[in-house]
């Protein structure tokens, strides 16, 4: 288990789920018994953690994280990113436990175009579930610097989203916080939350008791993974310090198109696969550009993440499944 | 007549010299060359040769390109003298600089 914030390439690289049909990997969280499981390969059939049994309908709260759908991307790494998003949606529909909602951790579109957002929305609508969004940098690159995203998603789920689209909500005893770290970026820097958002976060968390499980989601990882590729958030540590007093914090990010995980104190970090194309392990390639896999291997590198929280007794379980 | 042609030719050459163009390629999440030295009046052209979109933004916010998809380009004529620091507004770890000086010409550094 990695207890350091160190971005060492080797350590990060060996945390990457190796792919299809790998064994379940569990990480016990000393103290409160949080266990994560990352299941490589077998689509949606991995047993949830804890019992080791096949997935029985879970009591408690189950939701799905979907990320980096890049609708509009049509380069060789995946000529049809909308098709693989559709497959991800079909997989979610077939889950043994119907999720309560979907979190989309950004890069919904590839170029912030209306038709790309429309296509993503139409596809996700098929689930008949609420979808909670945060923007990725690809969702705010219109001439208005995010105006298109805000026009569409800017009110948030409860009309209370602020600034570039941050908000919080409560569901099933869990406090969810949606953060935006892809706007007002500075040359030479990483992702940025900014003073306004950090002040809002401090105020938002004030009304929560320490025992409330908190799930924070944002596009760019809030922890420093590999700054040479911009994989981190400059002021992410300030957000994490505000979360330190909570007994259970889960941080869900996207952006890097692969699974990386770390547990530090009471905070469990997890990044999701993309539904569009994979990116290389930190430092393993000249650049973080799309990895071109043989067509038959692509779906094994794409996927969605299912998270289950069971009040009392049971651990929070995170299951990653590929598209094929 | 001959003298007139020579004058034309000289004028054309002067125009060419003034309208010098320097190309910066964006590939593998890198501006290449990352630093150029150019004369005042040079047109700097960024070409995105990557399979991911990028954008060019000055640190001092004096200019910002639209997003550049693969093979799209953005150009800017630089006045100067001075140093223009810029970055990719999508991937801010990508940085570059343009040194507008007497016109020692061409790419500097690598
Ligand atoms: Cu870029």
* Record: contact A75-B70, CB cut-off 8 A: yes
CA distance B43 to chain A (A): 22
Other Cβ atoms within 10 Å of B43 Cβ, number: 15
Task: For residue A44, give Cα distances in angstroms to A67, A115, A256, A257, A270.
Answer: 16, 30, 22, 19, 18
The phi and psi torsions of A320 (rounded to 5 degrees) equal: -100, 135
Structure tokens at B66: 């639209």
pLDDT beneath 50: ranges in chain B = 10-17, 106, 108-110
Element (H, E) at B73: strand B73-77
ipTM: 0.78
Q: Give the whole-angstrom CA distance, residue A295 versus residue A286.
A: 22
Q: Are B22 and B35 in contact (CB under 8 A)?
A: no
Q: What's the confidence (pLDDT) of residue B25?
A: 98
Q: Is the pLDDT of residue A55 over 50?
A: no
Q: Give the whole-angstrom CA distance, residue B65 versus residue B60.
A: 14
* Record: contact A287-B89, CB cut-off 8 A: no
pTM attached to this predicted model:
0.81
User: At A23, is the pLDDT very low, low, confident or very high (cuts 50, 70, 90)?
Assistant: very low
Q: Are B55 and B65 in contact (CB under 8 A)?
A: yes
User: At A227, is the pLDDT very low, low, confident or very high (cuts 50, 70, 90)?
Assistant: very high
Tokens 């052209």 label which residue? B45
Asked if residue B93 belongs to a known ligand binding site, the reply is: no
CA angle B37, B40, B46 (to 5 degrees): 60
Long-range contacts of range B13-22, CB-CB < 8 Å, 24 or more positions apart?
B19/B43, B21/B45, B21/B75, B22/B106, B22/B107
Query: Which residues in A173-316 belong to E strands, given as ranges?
Result: 174-178, 214-218, 249-253, 261-264, 267-271, 303-309
Question: What is the CATH code for B2-100?
Answer: 2.60.40.420
Q: What's the confidence (pLDDT) of residue A254?
A: 97
pLDDT digits (tens, 9 = 90+) for A144-155: 999 999 999 999
Question: What is the CATH code for A23-52+60-303+310-322?
Answer: 3.60.21.10
Q: Where are the domains of chain B?
A: 2-100
Element (H, E) at A61: strand A61-66
User: pLDDT averaged over chain B?
Assistant: 84
How many whole angstroms from its chain centre is CA B14? 19
Q: Specify which residues A62 forms β-bridges with.
A: A308
Q: What's the confidence (pLDDT) of residue A28?
A: 25
User: Cis (ω within 30 of 0) for the bond into A89?
Assistant: no
Which of B89, B94, B95 would you mutate first to test chain A, the one with the most A CBs within 10 A?
B89
Burial string for A123-134 (b: 16+ CB within 10 Å, else e) reads bbeebebebbbb
Residue from the list B28, B67, B85 with its beta carbon closest to the beta carbon of A187: B85
User: Considering only residues 68 to 97 of chain A, which have any Cβ-Cβ distance to chain B shorter than 8 Å?
Assistant: 75-77
* Record: contact A287-B90, CB cut-off 8 A: no
- Three-state DSSP state, A263: strand
pLDDT digits (tens, 9 = 90+) for A263-320: 888 899 999 999 999 999 999 999 999 999 998 899 989 988 888 877 654 456 677 8
Q: Give the whole-angstrom CA distance, residue A258 versus residue A239.
A: 23
User: Cis (ω within 30 of 0) for the bond into B81?
Assistant: yes
Asked if residue B91 belongs to a known ligand binding site, the reply is: yes
pLDDT digits (tens, 9 = 90+) for A155-211: 998 888 999 999 999 998 899 999 999 999 999 999 999 999 999 999 999 999 999
């Amino acid at each position: 288990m990695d207890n350091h914030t160190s971005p060492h390439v080797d350590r990060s690289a060996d945390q990457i789920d190796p792919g299809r049909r790998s064994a379940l990997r569990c990480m016990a969280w000393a103290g409160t018994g949080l266990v994560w499981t990352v299941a490589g390969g077998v689509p949606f059939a991995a047993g949830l953690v804890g019992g080791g049994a096949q997935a029985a309908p879970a009591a408690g709260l189950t939701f799905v994280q979907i990320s980096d759908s890049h609708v509009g991307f049509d380069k060789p790494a995946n000529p049809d990113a909308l098709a693989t998003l559709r497959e991800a949606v079909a997989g979610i529909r077939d889950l043994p436990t119907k999720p309560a909602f979907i979190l989309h951790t950004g890069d919904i579109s590839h170029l912030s175009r209306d038709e790309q957002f429309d296509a993503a929305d139409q596809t996700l609508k098929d689930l008949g579930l609420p979808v909670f969004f945060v923007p990725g940098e690809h969702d705010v690159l219109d001439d208005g610097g995010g105006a298109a995203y805000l026009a569409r998603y800017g009110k948030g789920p409860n009309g209370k989203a602020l600034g570039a689209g941050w908000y919080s909500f409560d569901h099933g005893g869990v406090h969810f916080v949606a953060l935006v770290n892809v706007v007002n970026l500075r040359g030479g820097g990483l992702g940025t939350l900014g003073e306004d958002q950090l002040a809002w976060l401090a105020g938002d968390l004030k009304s929560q008791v320490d025992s409330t499980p908190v799930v924070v989601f944002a596009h760019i990882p809030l922890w420093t993974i590999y700054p040479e590729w911009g994989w981190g958030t400059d002021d992410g540590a300030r957000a994490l310090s505000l979360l330190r007093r909570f007994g259970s914090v889960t941080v869900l990010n996207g952006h890097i198109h692969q699974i990386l995980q770390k547990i530090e104190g009471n905070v469990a970090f997890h990044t999701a696969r993309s539904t569009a194309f994979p990116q290389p392990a930190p430092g393993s390639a000249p650049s973080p550009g799309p990895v071109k896999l043989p067509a038959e291997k692509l779906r094994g590198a794409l996927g969605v993440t299912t998270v289950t929280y069971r009040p009392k007794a049971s651990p929070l379980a995170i299951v990653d499944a590929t598209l094929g | 007549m001959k003298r007139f042609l020579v004058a034309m030719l000289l004028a054309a050459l002067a125009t060419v010299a003034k309208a010098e163009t320097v190309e910066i390629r964006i590939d593998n999440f890198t501006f290449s060359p990352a630093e150029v030295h150019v004369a005042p009046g040079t047109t700097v052209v960024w070409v995105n040769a990557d399979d991911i979109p990028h954008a060019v933004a000055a640190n001092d916010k004096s200019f910002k390109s639209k997003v550049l998809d693969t093979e799209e380009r953005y150009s800017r004529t630089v006045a100067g003298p001075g140093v223009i620091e810029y970055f990719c507004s999508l991937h801010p770890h990508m940085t570059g600089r343009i040194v507008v000086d007497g016109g020692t010409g061409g790419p500097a550094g690598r």
